[in-house]
Structure 1
Amino acid sequence: MKTSLTLIAAAACGIACTAHAQSSVTLYGIVDAGYRYNSNAGGKSQSAIAGGNESASRFGITGSEDLGGGYRAVFTLENGFTTTTGALQAGLMFGRQAFVGLGTPFGTVTLGRQYLTLSSYLGPFEAGSDWAARGAGWGYHPGGLDDVDGTERANNAIKYVSPRYRGLQVSATYSLGGVAGDVTRNGMISAGADYAQGPFKLAAAYLFVKNPNYSLFGNNATSSATGNNISSPVFSGYATAGSQQVFGAGTSYDIGKFTLGGIYTNTKFADLGATAVAGATLPASEVGRSVTFNTAEANLKYRLTPALQFGLAYAYTRASSFNGQSGASYQQWNLGANYALSKRTDLYCVVLHEKAAGYDSTGHRAVAALTSATPSASDTQTGFTVGIRHLF
């Protein structure tokens, strides 16, 4: 009897150990804080100790369970917070990501709040999504209008990512709008492909959004259910658009200590006036028409030593004409440096400058408006941030 119990206990231990070896749960996160300066915030300089400058502060839990035969269950719950106050990101407990899914030999399918395929594939080629004050958002393309940065997640989303075959991978995301009686309202579709082989990387992606003011830009607890959720003057005048379409492509190449990169996006706000937005006005002559933005960026990274890296980027955005006025143009320069104190802790410094021209979406002379920063009262604006970041 004693021998039998011993064998049973040993077998149970073996099963438990095997199950533990086949499953994993990981707690991870980033804590970022530093000094932030805006040269012209509505006509006055602005400075503060701020959290999430180079990377948005977050903590998350991710895990997987081996189901056998090449199948596995996966999940991620990721919370964003403000380091200086502890406040939740966008008023959501898991505002960054919250999804569960199944990995198979034929690809991975996940369901929940997650990044769209376009930002997943094109984000690495934009300096603002890589090293240029990503957490603050200041290095993004004007207003984050093309969502390359992934600031706007997709709720109620189904996402598929294929296995990588000879360097090639494809992905698609579909977000259901959740509006009773109208299955297409507020919906989002995104698809793309990327290729990586040695020092060379290339990606292309597409995004189609219905009623972007409420779907793409109104997917947080703090967003308005009726008003204008598109706050940047770069394109706030187009909040009534019936749809938004984005196509983009990016590439990079490593040459010794250098990484050369570039990205192009075409963003179209179509069928203006089709979405009712409280407080939004639109000239009668523009109802049903479209406005297009073209953005091109070139960037460079140089790793002087294993611990010290420098970055430089230039981006140019041009809008088509609107209501008989020449569309606005935006030029932005980003310059940054990063020094690794260890594998998990680094210091950063980023300087950004933007210059605007023409007329913006509000019909006024365009002002410089670094993404997520208080817009300038003039056509120029300079931002600066320096701080420390720790990963765990």
Structure 2
Amino acid sequence: MSETEFTLPDVGEGLTEAEIVQWKVAPGDAVELNQVLVEIETAKSLVELPSPFTGTVGRILVDEGTTVDVGTAIVTIEGGSDAAPAAASDDAASIAADTQATIDAEESGEGSVLVGYGTGAGASSRRKKKGKPQRAPRPPASVPAAAATPIIAKPPIRKLAKDLGVDLSAVEGTGLAGEITRDDVVRHASQASVFRNIETPAWSEDREERIPVKGVRKQIAQSMVRSKFTAPHVSVFVDVDATRTMEFVKRLKASPDFAGVKVSPLLIMAKAMIWAVRRNPSVNATWTDEEIIIHHYVNLGIAAATPRGLLVPNIKEAQSMSLLELATALEQLTLTARDGKTQPADMANGTITVTNIGVFGMDTGTPILNPGEVGIVAMGTIKQKPWVVDGEVRPRFVTTIGGSFDHRVVDGDVVSRFVADVASIIEEPALLLD
């Protein structure tokens, strides 16, 4: 019986190495075409490699936790003449395409982070399995069953809660008769994610902890240093009355057209970015030393905090999307990132980025440019503050919009006009109808 070696492929973007995270098969296992063999971590993403052969697993050549170069043999498949390769093991495009086909995004809460801040150096690069939600405790035998607070939630909402690891007994329903809605579950999951470090972890007996700088964390560090010390950043900030945006979001949530789709102020912010780019195209560009490339399309990057660190996937051709299409794409992008399934191609060729630091309760911050882009805009928390309207102080929903730009490409007047245009949409979303 013949034995064929499966070598580590370049899954895209010219990557040179990857870490073996978890083997999905063992010696002696029968494998089929496109069955996942191993999970690897590259400098940009967590990737599942499908088998290009049919046969039986022979030898595992690389242990979990080991980093190897592209082209290194990692496993052998026994099958003799019966082996049926779907693609050569060094065919990056085929592997990447097969990998993408295996992705099943799960429901998740929204969460973005300021480019350059990340989620902490101590974050594990491994995906953690979601814990099952705890069931509500049964009432004591002496208490009538009717005395227990009933959980009113439809089957899809219960499934969503299970997927997100949310205990429905801890969620306050805002629907009719206290019914738990989709927004209630997502909000609870988002809050749990934001405040995941609310309990102070105990120190170990070791005086120090040493974490190897590799994978995504290494890539983040290199990209941020390159961006910060290559592109001369200029930043501007403006406070905005976002009351009408909050009202618009509320109406969208009640619209049958947006049923089952996540709607948040970030959606309006994304649309505002696209609208403002059309009016100020030079912020949607790339600097190459020899020339400035102005893009007449928008691949909108969304900075996302994930269990593996900061990722910036982008929505391709966002300028051509309706508000509903943009909402759907934004939700899918977020779910995929939070599930650790973002692929290198999803993060390539971005043209401009938006980051939502408001989800962490931050009012503002100075974002660092995503390498290769000229602009990034940060949206702070939206909360009620005293605001002067027609000469009177009234409570209004206020946010701060901040942006950083590459001063080699755009000057202060362009930067100011662009951020002012974004702010004008947040202040009056009806301008999007123009």
TM-score, length-scaled by structure 1 = 0.23
- The answer to which structure, 1 or 2, has the higher relative contact order (CA under 8 A, 6+ apart) is 2
Query: Going by fraction, where is helix more abundant, 1 or 2?
Result: 2
Is the strand fraction higher in 1 or 2? 1
Greater C-alpha Rg:
2
TM-score, scaled relative to structure 2? 0.21
